[in-house]
Chain A
């Protein structure tokens, strides 16, 4: 079974600054994928970025990058040049190679961008 841990309290970040959201995970699967989702106040879950367990390079998607440290089992999300529209809950999630293809979620990090 996969376990995702997000323990940071709510974060305030100044517009145009970078913010790092922590995520640690635990799994016995030899291969797995790590995902980050954004959930604004409207409720929809928006897929942001993916990192495979065997990927040699850290994933990047626009202003989003993933700091993947496999030995430490961490997959932190970095949002650069924060914008007001980045205010949302952010969820780290994992999908393993075994089992039923479920996507297991952490409890999320709240980010508020202030002007």
Chain B
């Protein structure tokens, strides 16, 4: 069966510090990978998605970036965090593109607080 791992679970970082969140998927090949952010009490906002190694699409201009160095690894980064980057970050995967009937499966999320 497929599993998705996301870490760390919680993170407190000062403004201006770098960020690296990692997500890995097991039990499937060539997944679509996604990073979402959820601000407190709000819905989910898509930040990045990837349909293959090295292929990253950005949905929202910001100081975050994403990379996919391996098929089942997705990394969210920032060189300098802002207070507004605080939130709950969720990684997700789905089967490869072309199937609107496939759900996204989410990791447990990372709660980031920028101080």
Question: Chain A residues in contact with chain B, CB under 8 A?
Answer: 29, 31-33, 35, 37, 42-47, 50, 52, 91, 95-97, 100-108
Given contacts A43-B109, A44-B108, A45-B90, contact A91 B101 (CB under 8 A): no
Given known pairs A44-B108, A47-B104, A50-B103, the reply for A100 and B49 (CB within 8 Å) is yes
Distance of A33 Cα from B103 Cα, bound (Å): 9
Q: Are B103 and A101 in contact (CB under 8 A)?
A: no
Q: Specify which chain A residues have a CB less than 8 angstroms from the CB of B59 in the assembled complex.
A: 102
B7 close to A (CB within 8 Å): no
Say yes or no: A108-B111 contact (C-beta < 8 A), given A101-B32, A101-B97, A103-B104. Answer: no
**Nearest opposing residue in chain B for A108, CB measure:** B43
Interface residues on B, range: 20 to 34
Residues of A within 8 A of B43 (CB): 91, 105-108
**Least CB distance, A40 to chain B, in whole angstroms:** 11
Question: Are A31 and B88 within 8 A (Cβ)?
Answer: no
Besides A45-B106, A105-B44, 14 other A-B contacts (C-beta < 8 A): A33-B102, A35-B103, A45-B92, A50-B101, A50-B103, A91-B43, A95-B100, A100-B49, A100-B57, A101-B32, A102-B34, A103-B94, A105-B43, A106-B43
Residue in chain A with minimal CB distance to B97: A101
Instruction: Give min CB distance, A77 to chain B, whole Å.
Output: 14
Q: Could you list some 15 contacts between A and B, CB below 8 A?
A: A29-B100, A33-B100, A33-B101, A35-B103, A43-B88, A45-B44, A47-B106, A100-B49, A101-B94, A101-B100, A102-B59, A103-B92, A103-B94, A105-B44, A108-B43
